[in-house]
Amino acid sequence: MKGIILSGGSATRLFPLTATTSKQLLPVYDRQMIFYPLNVLVKAGIKDILIIVAPEHSGHFLNLLGSIFDKNDIRLEFKVQKNPRGLADAFIVGENFIGQDNVTMILGDNIFEDDFSDEIKNFKSGAKVFAVKVPDPERSGVVVFDDQMKALKIVEKPKDRISDYAIPGLYIYDNRVVKVAKQVKPSARGEIEIVDIHNWYLDKGELAVGLVKGKWLDAGTFDSLLEAGVYVKEKKLYEKFDPIINRAIEEFNEELKIICKKRL
pLDDT in tens, 160-191: 889 999 999 999 999 999 999 999 999 888 88
Report how far Cα 21 is from the mean position of its chain's Cα atoms: 18
- Does residue 94 contact residue 6 with C-beta atoms inside 8 Å? no
pTM: 0.95
User: Tens digits of per-residue pLDDT, 28-70?
Assistant: 999 999 999 999 999 999 999 999 999 999 999 999 999 999 8
How much is the pLDDT for 136?
85
Residue 210: give the domain boundaries. Answer: 2-263
Question: Of all helices (H) and strands (E), which one includes residue 85?
Answer: none
Look at the chain and report how many structural domains it folds into: 1
**CA separation for the pair 99, 91 (Å, rounded):** 11
One-letter amino acid for residue 144 of the chain: V
Question: Hey, which residues does 169 pair with through a beta bridge?
Answer: none
Residue 145 burial class via C-beta count within 10 angstroms: exposed 0-12, middle 13-18, buried 19 and up: middle
**Beta-carbon count within 10 A of 117 CB:** 16
Q: How far is the first Cα of the chain from the last one, in angstroms, to the nearest whole number?
A: 45
Burial 202-219 (b: 16+ CB within 10 A, else e): beeeebebeebeebbbbb
Report how far Cα 161 is from the mean position of its chain's Cα atoms: 25
Which residues of the chain register pLDDT less than 50?
A: none
The residue count for the chain: 264
**CA separation for the pair 137, 161 (Å, rounded):** 8
Q: Which CATH number is 36's domain given?
A: 3.90.550.10
- Does residue 110 contact residue 216 with C-beta atoms inside 8 Å? yes
